[in-house]
């Protein structure tokens, strides 16, 4: 084999290693990069992306005839459909504004039960943190496990129900909802404008307005209760 062919083969081999590392090793190399380049703040991120994100969002709110920013929002996440619906409070009712496509979400139908199961949780959550230095561009932390999750984990002796569940950018997920960079810039900006305390996130395995949610025979008994509550909540949101 000629030296030029060896070099080309070496380059191709290096790329085959580096490309997966770029996408799936972000938790390793991004923090190192941030130490060198410097970290962002929530304000600096809003200054960087907020203006353009606002422009895109305002178009959706104007079409829905809703004031921007609204006083309160609800994000309805559908795992099977890979979709987040944005609903905003208008006077005394929530109205649909737009949809965001979920780029990646690991796991299958069913709630998250333990650390490492790679499941996206199902239930009623709040955004408790905005992370401007996420390894996945930007992220919003959810309060999983919430009180409901912790109660049933304790009753079943599950001492590690998992944590660190985010809605974030890019298109790689291990138990989180990956939205892509453009969408997370809009969601991050919107939640900043509205306020974390005025943002609720409801995650369902599939759309209960179209399909009846049914627990598997192997699921804990409380899953049926959870699905009933999710289904009742979803009936409030009809386009």
Looking at the fold, whether 18 and 103 belong to one and the same domain comes out as no
63 part of a folded domain:
yes
49 part of a folded domain:
yes
Confidence of residue 38 (pLDDT cuts 50, 70, 90): low
Looking at the fold, whether 106 and 146 belong to one and the same domain comes out as yes
Question: Which pTM was predicted?
Answer: 0.87
184 part of a folded domain:
yes
Please compute, for residue 132, the number of CA atoms within 13 A of its CA located in the half-sphere on the CB side. Answer: 15
128 part of a folded domain:
yes
Q: 65, 96 in Cβ contact below 8 A?
A: no
Query: Residue 10 is part of which domain span?
Result: 1-38
Looking at the fold, whether 65 and 180 belong to one and the same domain comes out as yes
Alpha-carbon gap, residue 70 to 67, rounded angstroms? 6
Mean predicted confidence (pLDDT) in 191-220: 96
Looking at the fold, whether 188 and 173 belong to one and the same domain comes out as yes
Alpha-carbon gap, residue 169 to 180, rounded angstroms? 4
pLDDT score at 17: 47
Catalytic residues: 168, 176
- The number of helix segments (H) and strand segments (E) in the chain equals 7, 8
Looking at the fold, whether 98 and 127 belong to one and the same domain comes out as yes
Tell me the CATH number at 156: 2.40.440.10
Beta-carbon contacts of residue 100 (< 8 Å; ≥ 6 apart) = 83, 84, 86, 179, 183, 186, 187
Looking at the fold, whether 22 and 140 belong to one and the same domain comes out as no
Alpha-carbon gap, residue 165 to 167, rounded angstroms? 7
Looking at the fold, whether 33 and 78 belong to one and the same domain comes out as no
Looking at the fold, whether 222 and 113 belong to one and the same domain comes out as yes
13 part of a folded domain:
yes
Share of the chain above pLDDT 70, in %: 84
239 part of a folded domain:
no
pLDDT tens digits, 167-181: 999 999 989 999 999
Looking at the fold, whether 122 and 16 belong to one and the same domain comes out as no
Looking at the fold, whether 16 and 126 belong to one and the same domain comes out as no
25 part of a folded domain:
yes
pLDDT score at 30: 59
Average pLDDT score, the chain: 90
3-class secondary-structure state, position 114: coil
Q: What are phi and psi of 35, to 5 degrees?
A: -65, -35
pLDDT at 5 over 80: no
Looking at the fold, whether 34 and 45 belong to one and the same domain comes out as no
Q: What are phi and psi of 54, to 5 degrees?
A: -60, -45
pLDDT score at 21: 47
90 part of a folded domain:
yes
Mean predicted confidence (pLDDT) in 212-228: 94
Mean predicted confidence (pLDDT) in 28-50: 78
Domains of the chain: total: 2
pLDDT score at 89: 98
Looking at the fold, whether 6 and 55 belong to one and the same domain comes out as no
């Amino acid at each position: 084999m000629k030296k030029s062919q060896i070099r080309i083969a070496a380059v191709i081999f290096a790329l085959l290693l580096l490309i997966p590392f770029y996408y799936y090793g972000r938790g390793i190399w991004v923090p190192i990069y941030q130490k060198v380049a410097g970290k962002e703040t929530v304000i600096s991120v809003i200054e960087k992306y907020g203006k353009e994100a606002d422009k895109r969002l305002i178009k959706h709110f104007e079409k829905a005839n809703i004031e921007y920013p609204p006083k309160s929002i609800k994000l309805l996440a559908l795992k099977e459909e890979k979709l987040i619906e944005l609903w905003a409070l208008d006077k005394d009712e929530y109205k649909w504004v737009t949809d965001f496509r979920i780029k990646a979400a690991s796991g299958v139908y069913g709630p998250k039960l333990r650390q490492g199961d790679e499941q996206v949780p199902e239930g009623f959550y709040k955004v408790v943190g905005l992370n401007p230095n996420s390894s996945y561009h930007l992220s919003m932390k959810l309060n999983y496990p919430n009180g409901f999750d912790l109660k049933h984990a304790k009753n079943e002796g599950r001492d590690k129900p998992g944590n660190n569940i985010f809605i974030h950018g890019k298109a790689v997920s291990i138990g989180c909802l990956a939205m892509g960079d453009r969408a997370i810039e809009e969601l991050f900006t919107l939640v900043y404008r509205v306020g974390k305390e005025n943002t609720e996130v409801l995650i369902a395995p599939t759309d209960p307005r179209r399909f009846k949610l049914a627990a598997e025979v192997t699921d804990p008994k409380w899953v049926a209760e959870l699905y009933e509550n999710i289904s009742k909540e979803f009936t409030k949101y009809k386009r």
